[in-house]
Structure 1
């Protein structure tokens, strides 16, 4: 009888141990501890298994500077990123790719693909590697950096960076306002393919920094036309109507910038009074972590020094 009782107890202990072990394995898999992947949950609730320590990332739009800031290698990047001189050293071994060049991406053997959900061939990309595609504007420009941080397993580093950047940007904004006046307006224009654009507060080119972080004023005409859509196309003849007290010109050297040589442009008050700031469009294009830092340094020098 005793032997039978001991056998039952022993079997019960073995079953408990097995259940406990199974639960631990399940918890470990869910948390990513002890595995090579973590789970990123999209805003739509989709769970994507991504590498815990990505080493071969392909970026199809806009996130290269954030990966650079947090030390994550990029092996393939979009044309805009490849044209940014600030990324030359970081991308020296990377290959230019687009979402249409599936075979080229396959050859890079990526362990993670990042981009926007407007790309074509999304299903094919997902067959190559874990693919996370964001909707542009779904997150604020700083929240977007944190989301990318989550994907590359650098969430805390991203949150720390955002907190530090916000502090520095707000302080710089206060200093600039103290110098140029709290009501002074600033506008951002860019010429591309013979079309001039003026920008709102969330379309790169330093707009997030100027209008959101530093809270500088936008001219009424720009607010009326470009704030909601993000940008507005205009002719060279009416730039003066959209120019603020200060004019930021995002300039591509390789484009036709002859409009800047016209009498109409030179007579814009901001231009005539030396309140025009010309920046390199290739360096200013995005709103990733590295580019925001670069923009902040440029604006600090231009406005304050």
Structure 2
């Protein structure tokens, strides 16, 4: 009698357990198919149910929001802005740049030392340079990703920020388009002015003079990399490797190309431009000097590059 009762009970339990298992499986499948952030071809380890992604940073994997809403950028803020990222905190140098003034209205200026201030901003992502001294403290506040300045070229850096913000497609689309437009402009410049035309990029703060290589902002990436224009041999010898070279005013003519891009503060003293040394440079005599404001030219992000591409196209070709 006991055996006869026991068998039906076991069968009933098996039916119930089986039904629960099927229900659980069905719910999981429905949830997975309803999730807009899950890509069928994406490894499961990169997307979490909590709306995060695993970003492979140079220091290792970091779990970050798949759509960050409150970003503190102690570095690379312009790259974030170019992709429509929402900043709640920014470094002082980006904040001082006229190109970003409108986009940074109401954004708090912070440094790595402002831990309480950063905490109060309630960020969901922090971006900084690897040179910061307190990365562990920042990580306690929010997921923190650091980059080594200059480790990536200007286009690769934009691509990485795109991956970090889950906007890789947008970043790559801009990269492809910019490269095409800048290369076309370079070909047009060479067709008009000659294949061997040389360009020098100088900067002065009224006291010191510098000449730049091909990767030190001030539009050097556009001129030498994207457009493929030439730098004078003297510049190549002294500035290409280190990125820049400090000059005395007396030797500036030795580094001057057929065209000069001059980076200086618009409100700074320009007495040097009235000196005999400067006035006798062939590029100056021929009015082949394109001036840019130092404050707007010290980054290599898409916003800055688009701004400078327009200036260069007009300066070399006489058109926008």
Paired with 2:100 and 2:186, the residues of 1 have a C-alpha distance of 26
**Which of the numbers 83, 88, 91 marks the counterpart of 2:96?**
83
> Which shifted more, 119-128 or 266-275?
119-128
1:170 positional shift: 0.8
1:128 positional shift: 1.7
**Post-superposition CA distance 1:33-76 (Å, at most 9, x none):** 653322211134x1112222222222223x23322222112222
TM-score with structure 1 length normalisation?
0.89
Q: Which runs of 5+ in 2 are unaligned?
A: 1-6, 39-43
1:290 positional shift: 0.9
2:67 corresponds to? 53
Indicate conservation of the 8 Å contact 2:206/2:270, yes or no.
no
Larger radius of gyration: 2
Q: Which runs of 5+ in 1 are unaligned?
A: none
The question of 1:247 aligning with 2:260 is answered yes
Paired with 1:121 and 1:193, the residues of 2 have a C-alpha distance of 36
**Post-superposition CA distance 1:79-101 (Å, at most 9, x none):** 22112111111011112222233
Paired with 1:75 and 1:195, the residues of 2 have a C-alpha distance of 36
Indicate conservation of the 8 Å contact 2:262/2:292, yes or no.
yes
SS of the residue corresponding to residue 91 of structure 1 reads: coil
Instruction: Map 1:116-127; keep pairs closer than 5 Å.
Output: 116-127=129-140
2:41 corresponds to? none
1:267 corresponds to? 280
> Which shifted more, 121-130 or 177-186?
121-130
1:38 corresponds to? 53
Indicate conservation of the 8 Å contact 2:218/2:297, yes or no.
yes
2:3 corresponds to? none
SS of the residue corresponding to residue 156 of structure 1 reads: helix
1:123 positional shift: 1.9
Paired with 1:88 and 1:297, the residues of 2 have a C-alpha distance of 19
Structure number with higher relative contact order (C-alpha < 8 Å, ≥ 6 residues apart): 1
1:304 corresponds to? 317
How many pairs are equivalent? 302
**Post-superposition CA distance 1:99-120 (Å, at most 9, x none):** 2332332232222221211122
CA gap 1:257/1:75 in 2 versus in 1, 3 angstroms:
farther
CA gap 1:127/1:254 in 2 versus in 1, 3 angstroms:
farther
Indicate conservation of the 8 Å contact 2:97/2:295, yes or no.
yes
**Which of the numbers 152, 168, 182 marks the counterpart of 1:139?**
152
Paired with 1:280 and 1:19, the residues of 2 have a C-alpha distance of 62
> Which shifted more, 99-108 or 229-238?
99-108
Paired with 2:281 and 2:111, the residues of 1 have a C-alpha distance of 40
> Which shifted more, 272-281 or 8-17?
8-17
SS of the residue corresponding to residue 260 of structure 1 reads: helix
1:130 positional shift: 1.5
Paired with 2:229 and 2:142, the residues of 1 have a C-alpha distance of 42
> Which shifted more, 193-202 or 264-273?
193-202
Paired with 2:135 and 2:127, the residues of 1 have a C-alpha distance of 11
SS of the residue corresponding to residue 104 of structure 2 reads: coil
Indicate conservation of the 8 Å contact 1:191/1:257, yes or no.
no
